[in-house]
Structure 1
Amino acid sequence: MLTPEPRTAVNRAALALTGLALAAGGVWTATGHAAFAARLPGWWPRPPAGGFLVQEGALTALRTRGWWTPAVVTVGVLATAFLAWCFLRQFPRRGRSRLALAAPGSVLRVEALERALAQRVSSVEGVDRCRVRIHGPRRKPRLRMRVLLAAGTPPGAVLDALHAVTAEAQGVMAPCVLRSRVRLGQRARRSRHVR
């Protein structure tokens, strides 16, 4: 079963919030013009006539207050840390190298399971090569398979076998909930050259 990536929702939410903030800032800046100012509700902030939204005197008065500089630095550091965290979340993370299984005291090496699944899928007729990666949180790991089909093999011919392998992997990793994603590709046929 294919499931959407969690970071897709984070990306969309971050883009939506950034877009809303930029749109609000643009509307706020654009409505400083007298033609728009007359149509605004009473609570909307307005720059003084012929001036800027933040006057130079008001900005100087803010800088003399003791809380202004630490507040600006703190907001800058927090915004930078948040954006760096969002950037680092874009890269896939490897989970733990060992997973605890249902039987007491039993553990499973993730790399061994990846190799076993890759060999199992590669032995399916019509599959040329397979690469398997298991990553993500400990309780809900994600299984990614990249399967390269032999030339001329239709994808439908291997889907049942791939489903059986992912179901087998889910049984091995119980009680963890395994989410699977399979990407199929095909080796191109080599055309004969005539001399």
Structure 2
Amino acid sequence: MTSGSGVNRTLIALAGMALLGTGLWLLGATRAVADHLPAGWPAPPADGVLLDREGLASLRETGWWAPAVLATGTVIALLCLAWAVTRTPVRGLRPTGSLSTARAELRLTALEATVCEDAHRVEGVARARCRIVLRRTSAHLTLRVWTRPGCAPADVLDALGTLSTTVEQALHPRGLRTRTRVSAQRHAAPHVR
């Protein structure tokens, strides 16, 4: 749970407990609070409750009741609307423009296949495997390469670095983190029977 969510839940719980306590207090209040009521508030009967049907009817007849209820309802509705608007994610408009070869978006699997083919074309590489993971602001390229027997890993690293730079340009504006693992392919030993 995030801190904003925790604060929201705490405030909602406190407001609910305050409303519940006030409601329970009004239900049980009788003559004990009659002396502390405002001057315009009608006094409850001796054996009645603070808010009964007759008391509410007399409140509705006063001139301030309707504007007070309307103002309170409006404030509560605006607060709920403001809360709902802050909870709605706002997505910015995507920029549009002409597609050129540099800005054309590729499907991720097509880009992975292209990277594997380009890595396989590097002299000394027997086979290659590629995985690209996109994050919100970055991308991760994991490249696994097996070299042919007799080829040193240092011989292929420069070409693979160039390949990584090309992928970074294709994924711009995301930053690219590359992890390359180079292994030597085992010599094919003849089997003797």
TM-score interval (norm. to shorter) = 0.3 to 0.5
Decide which structure has the larger Cα Rg and report it. Answer: 2
Of structures 1 and 2, the one with the larger relative CO (CA 8 A, separation 6+) is 1
TM-score, normalisation: structure 2: 0.45
